[in-house]
Structure 1
């Protein structure tokens, strides 16, 4: 991916002897396409939707060399809708942090950041194939009873693998790579007077990658003001891994997510592969089974998807995707593919999408 490098204003660098040691990079992703959804409230629908294979992002990241293997780092990142140009959330609602980094010990940052359920079970599990993972490959289904605050259907990205929610007011440490082993921990302050526990988040993860093999693990416990006045929340732990076999990359994931107040929980078992099928052409196949406990009426969902991508250049690709979900386990359980505007009125829902994406 090419990046535009911008010199910082002279006012910020006049006191620094080596201006070349300070860089700021502008980067982003724009994804747009046309969808056909087989069942949305009982009817088929056509739409032009954006940010499904990748979120539409723009951001700034930078660093300044401080000497002695130390540098200052920052990231400011926002999300937008490419169909109308509107901001999705605050200006820098995806990430906003500053910190220190060293090749010998790691990175310490403060601000709004991803937790380790995303870092380790998302990009950490997929490795280089992660850019092919669309929002529609992730969680929603008939699990609204889980009660994930602020998420569509009460279940969108309930295990955090999509990174749909980040952690405000957080301090995060990610280690350097020690012979393939990396680890980290995050703490998000609830900032409630008189209580350190209300609304707080903790997260930790580790990854070991060696040759064609990688294994990752993470746990995140996020208390939320909407759940028992901030004394309970959503707790997720998971294990993932990948193995490269020739040109193919196989991946697997297990997650367990629980509402610590109601006791409702959902487990996910997922397997997939990324296959190079021709020059500049990659096929991603994915299957997942999601199932809830008795508190959530033992609803479940099967979901299978295929995404075919063609690289027009290093920064631009076109793709086609097919996703099918079937829900069941209880009367009234309805399918709902992640990223779609609403649920079906029955057990099944199918998505067909054709789109393109540009990265800068």
Structure 2
């Protein structure tokens, strides 16, 4: 009888919660065929996924608490379409809960994106973001940077791809006032007696108008692998976009530094999006990446092009191409565009891809 009562009580509470809140299931899937000109000295063609966008599924909720206050949450995971396997933990992409106010802003806690991604990619690119591939984001001949993480030591070194989130963090984002908004967050190390060891912090500022945006961000992340957690990778950047005729042009500068070794990478990128008819968009970008003498003065030029055709509000097909030329140290200046593949055996690498994407 107690079990029946407990079950009835849980059902009643769940129904009450459902009546007071909204929960949305969402996600996106990307699959295609990629040809790489030089993967460790060999041409390769593979079926791969999560290149134009990562394959994600998630739940987000919002409950009206009254008086302009809301309880909010987001749980998000990543997976591989080709195998169905999880990519990391079940909700390793995002997992946070917080309070949102129309007047005072949003305060959240958990595992969440920091401002190098939120300000310099999500906000800066705005309507251009759906056409920016992961191949357009940072990877190159800088493995000696020393950034811990999967794949290579320099993948997403300036954090603009959102490949890294900030765990155990508290984040505040202000409401937009005349288009101006600011944000700050702190990631706790959760180490006994080590509050400032292996911690992280990030700041962002965005000024968004109908015809342009100006965005800036700063992030410092300390890693156990760098000087026993006392040092890490520091990033800052500034950029924006502006409406030109029927499309957009964008500009970005980022600076990445290993605070222990002094290894530093500067990046300048310019790009733009233009509609080609009612259902097609063309995105192009050029970036120049330059390492300092700690990184053997390695540098790389890269060009990206994506042509996207919309089949419906939720489905599109696309073709993309990328080319990178690396130079500098003869042993380490190997072109490397896509983290899921390997570096070139030379200073040049080209990529061609056709794929399909679906949102739900």
The residue that corresponds to 1:143 in the other structure is: 142
* Stretches (4+) displaced over 3 A: 9-16
SS in 1 for 2:228: helix
Asked if the contact 1:52/1:339 (under 8 Å) is kept, the reply is no
The residue that corresponds to 2:7 in the other structure is: none
Aligned pairs (5 A) from 1:182-193: 182-193=181-192
The residue that corresponds to 1:356 in the other structure is: 356
CA distance in 1, matches of 2:57, 2:207: 30
The answer to whether 1:96 aligns with 2:112 is no
The residue that corresponds to 2:30 in the other structure is: 31
- The TM-score normalised by the length of structure 1 is 0.95
SS in 1 for 2:135: helix
CA drift of 1:330 comes to: 1.8
The residue that corresponds to 1:84 in the other structure is: 83
Aligned pairs (5 A) from 1:153-168: 153-168=152-167
Aligned pairs (5 A) from 1:230-269: 230-269=229-268
The residue that corresponds to 1:273 in the other structure is: 272
CA distance in 1, matches of 2:191, 2:114: 20
- The TM-score normalised by the length of structure 2 is 0.95
SS in 2 for 1:118: helix
Paired residues in the alignment total 350
CA drift of 1:133 comes to: 1.1
Asked if the contact 1:139/1:338 (under 8 Å) is kept, the reply is no
CA distance in 2, matches of 1:233, 1:43: 35
CA drift of 1:10 comes to: 4.3
CA distance in 1, matches of 2:14, 2:267: 50
The residue that corresponds to 2:60 in the other structure is: 61
The residue that corresponds to 1:346 in the other structure is: 346
SS in 1 for 2:152: helix
The residue that corresponds to 1:132 in the other structure is: 131
CA distance in 2, matches of 1:331, 1:339: 21
Cα 1:102–1:348, aligned 2, differ >3 Å: closer, same or farther?
same
The residue that corresponds to 1:220 in the other structure is: 219
CA distance in 1, matches of 2:111, 2:16: 29
RMSD over equivalenced CA pairs, Å: 1.1
CA distance in 2, matches of 1:21, 1:11: 13
Cα 1:72–1:299, aligned 2, differ >3 Å: closer, same or farther?
same
CA drift of 1:21 comes to: 3.8
Asked if the contact 1:141/1:334 (under 8 Å) is kept, the reply is yes
CA drift of 1:51 comes to: 0.1
1:218-259 per-residue CA deviation (whole Å, 9 max, x = no partner) reads: 000000111111110000000010001121110000000000
CA drift of 1:339 comes to: 3.3
1:289-330 per-residue CA deviation (whole Å, 9 max, x = no partner) reads: 000001111000000010000000000000000100000022
CA drift of 1:140 comes to: 1.2
The residue that corresponds to 1:181 in the other structure is: 180
Question: Please, which runs of 5 or more residues in structure 2 have no aligned partner?
Answer: 1-9
CA drift of 1:13 comes to: 4.3
CA drift of 1:146 comes to: 0.4
